[in-house]
Amino acid sequence: MAVEYTESALQNAKDLIERENIQFINLQFTDIIGMVKSVTIPTSQFDECVEHGKWFDGSSIEGFARIAESDMQLIPDLETFRVIPWERGDNAGARIICRVTEPGGADFAGDPRAALIRVVEEARALGYEYMTGPELEFFLFKLSDLENVEVLPHDRSTLDG
């Protein structure tokens, strides 16, 4: 199955990979109850992933597929490629949001992103402009110092408070 993307989106992603020394890319998708899942690839697999998608075992995701029909494919949306701010340095990382498809290339019916895209297109065909927005989540950060600001995640729980 051919993956659709614009050359400018591909070039932007490649430029960021080079400039930020990205080592790993999280291919993110959402399960049917809205939890973010991901498959992590090294950047050496990026071109292959962009060209052909990335196969994964859908039976390992709650509510996706039974073991007999577990082959599923992630199709990256290059417009969503972003560097993960707190994953810089030796193991710098990025993320890209993906569509989930079945082996024949059809959108997986349990992919919330595909369902949203389908509903927006149906509304547009009826003359409506359907506006959506994300549910805002947040992260807590600890700043190392004001002279040399390094953003560090500060939202992991501990047993001792």
Residues of the chain with pLDDT below 70 are 1-4, 59-69, 138-161
Report pLDDT for 64.
58
**Which residues contact residue 142 at a Cβ distance below 8 angstroms, ignoring those fewer than 6 apart?**
152, 153, 154
Structure tokens at 136: 């805002």
**Which residues contact residue 129 at a Cβ distance below 8 angstroms, ignoring those fewer than 6 apart?**
123
Report pLDDT for 117.
87
Domain 7-153, second-level architecture:
Roll (3.10)
Angle at 120 between CA 114 and CA 124, to 5 degrees: 145
Intra-chain end-to-end CA distance of the chain, in Å: 50
Distance CA 60, CA 12 (A): 32
Q: By the 8 A CB rule, do 37 and 30 touch?
A: yes
115 C-beta neighbours (distance < 10 Å), count: 14
Report pLDDT for 116.
87
pLDDT 10s digits, 15-35: 999 999 999 999 999 888 888
